[in-house]
């Protein structure tokens, strides 16, 4: 009877070890997939910056949207790295003259950054500068339109 109990315990221990091994493999696979998606978002951001420097804003927008989607799915919609993607996309839309979309993205990024990093963080200040520049562009655009109407 005792040897039977020992064999049952050994079977349970073997089963637990097998389950633990399977879980560890599953978790490591999930972590590898997650790292791969984070790496993919970083590669996209580098491509976006190259296109931005070339002035190819419209070409960069789909990549920025893809990077944002990747980061949101991996990190959640309120993560500070998502705010970086929001800022990048906002910059592209502002450069294309789509001020309404840019403003919404900057404001969402600002909310995330202030919540996670506090109001005095440099990333918050950079986002506020982006908004300030955007509002200046909106005002310049408005003045240009008024000048055209006066001619």
Total number of domains constituting the chain: 1
Cα distance between residue 65 and residue 77, in whole Å: 13
* Cβ neighbours of 97 (radius 10 Å): 11
pLDDT at 92: 95
Cα distance between residue 35 and residue 41, in whole Å: 10
Q: For the segment 54-83, what is each residue's pLDDT rounded down to a tens digit?
A: 999 999 999 999 999 999 999 999 999 999
Q: Do residues 101 and 93 make contact, with C-beta atoms less than 8 angstroms apart? A: yes
- 15: pLDDT strictly greater than 90: no
State pTM to two decimals: 0.73
20: in domain: no
Distance in angstroms between the alpha carbons of the first and the last residue of the chain = 104
7: in domain: no
We report the CATH number of the domain holding residue 111 as: 1.25.40.10
Task: Note down the domain range covering 115.
Answer: 42-150
């Amino acid at each position: 009877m005792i040897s039977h109990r020992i064999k049952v315990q050994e079977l349970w221990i073997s089963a637990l070890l097998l389950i633990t091994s399977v879980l560890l493999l599953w978790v490591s696979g999930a972590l590898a997939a997650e790292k791969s998606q984070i790496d993919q978002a970083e590669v996209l951001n580098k491509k976006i910056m190259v296109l931005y420097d070339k002035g190819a804003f419209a070409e960069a927008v789909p990549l920025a949207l893809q990077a944002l989607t990747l980061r949101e799915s991996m990190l959640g919609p309120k993560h500070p790295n998502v705010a970086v993607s929001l800022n990048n996309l906002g910059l592209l839309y502002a450069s294309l003259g789509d001020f309404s979309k840019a403003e919404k993205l900057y404001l969402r990024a600002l909310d995330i950054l202030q919540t996670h990093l506090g109001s005095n963080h440099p990333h918050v200040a950079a986002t506020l500068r982006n908004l300030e520049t955007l509002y200046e562009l909106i005002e310049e655009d408005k003045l240009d339109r008024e000048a055209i109407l006066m001619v």
